[in-house]
């Protein structure tokens, strides 16, 4: 079965959005929310939560596969670099050779506006919408 193309998701990150994510998750690590503290770290400023960036990949897959993604979707990722306030991030997926006849496999990644790789990995979704 040929895997369908998946439309990319593009988002601009803001410090306000990072702050709202911190409030929603309870993760108020100063590297995410305290500009003065974050400037003293090797990052030189605040960075987005990794899971906030990863959510753009799940959003992309949910838009493409709907309930099948919600019930059978699997991600295997590595966080490669931090996203920062002001970054425009792009989540994308490329079809790969499926490991089984019942699943579609994609190479997924998220990059910033400078083409820096933020997240890479694979996504798998049941081709018939059933869970395993």
Considering only CA atoms, which of 72, 58, 63, 70 is closest in space to residue 100? Answer: 72
Reported as a single tens digit per residue, the pLDDT across 19-37 is 999 999 999 999 999 999 9
Distance CA 88, CA 83 (A): 9
Residue 98: pLDDT band (50, 70, 90) is confident
What is the reported pLDDT for 77? 98
Q: Are 16 and 33 in contact (CB under 8 A)?
A: no
Taking the alpha carbons at both ends of the chain, their separation in whole angstroms is: 18
Residue extents of the structural domains in the chain: 9-14+47-126
Q: Identify the H or E element spanning 45.
A: none
- Tell me which CATH code domain 9-14+47-126 carries: 3.10.129.10
């Amino acid at each position: 079965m040929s895997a369908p193309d998946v439309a990319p998701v593009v988002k601009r990150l803001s410090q306000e959005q990072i702050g709202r994510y911190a409030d929603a998750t309870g993760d108020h690590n100063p590297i995410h929310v305290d500009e003065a503290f974050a400037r003293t770290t090797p990052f030189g400023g605040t960075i987005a939560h990794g899971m906030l960036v990863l959510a753009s990949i799940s959003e992309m897959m949910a838009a493409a596969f709907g309930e099948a993604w919600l019930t059978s979707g699997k991600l295997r990722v590595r966080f490669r670099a931090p996203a920062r306030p002001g970054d425009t991030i792009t989540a994308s997926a490329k079809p790969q050779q499926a490991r089984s006849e019942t699943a579609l496999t994609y190479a997924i990644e998220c990059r910033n506006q400078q083409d820096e790789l933020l997240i890479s990995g694979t996504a798998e979704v049941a081709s018939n919408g059933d869970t395993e």
